[in-house]
Amino acid sequence: MKRDEACVKSYNVKPEWYKLCQDTLRSAPGTAEVTVYALNATRLANMKYGDTMNTINQMLGARNLLSKERGAVSHCKNKYGEAGRLMASIADQLVGCDFTRARQEHIDAQVAIRSCQGELWSSCTCR
C-alpha cells in the first residue's frame, strides 16, 4: 500500500487525520505493508511520550507548581508512563505480527492520556 493510500483511508474516518497521517508517515517508505506504517506511527508516539516525560520531569523539578497542579502533573507522569509502556508493547506485537492485544492496548493508552488531560483541566486556576 502506498503511504498516501493509507492516509486517504484515515481521511475517510476523520478528515483532520489526513495531515496527521502524512506528518506521521513522512519518514516511512513510500510503499509498505500497513504494519510498517503502524509500527512507524507507534515508534513516533513513543518518542513523543518520552519528550512529554522529560517536560513533566522538568515541571516537577522546578518546584514552582501549586499543590493541586503538582498533583495533576504527577498524575500525568504516571499516565504517560502507562501509555508509553502500552505503545512499546504494541510495537513489539507489530514486529511479531501479533495483533491480539494491540487494539485494546491502543485504546488503553488513549484513555490514560485523556485521564491526564482531564486532571490538568480540573487543576487549572486559569479559567
- Residue 37 located in a structural domain: no
The C-alpha atoms of residue 15 and residue 35 are separated, in whole angstroms, by 22
Half-sphere exposure of 102 (CA within 13 A, CB side): 15
Query: CA dist 51 to 15, 48, 117, Å?
Result: 27, 5, 16
The C-alpha atoms of residue 116 and residue 96 are separated, in whole angstroms, by 30
Do residues 55 and 18 both lie within one domain?
no
- Residue 117 located in a structural domain: yes
Q: What is the pLDDT of residues 96-108, one digit of tens each?
A: 888 789 889 989 9
For the chain, how many structural domains are there in total?
2
Domain boundaries, position 26: 1-32
* This prediction's pTM: 0.75
- Among 8-12, 20-24, 115-119, the least confident range: 8-12
> pLDDT value at position 12?
72
Do residues 70 and 100 both lie within one domain?
yes
Q: What is the pLDDT of residues 26-65, one digit of tens each?
A: 777 777 777 787 888 888 888 888 999 999 999 999 888 8
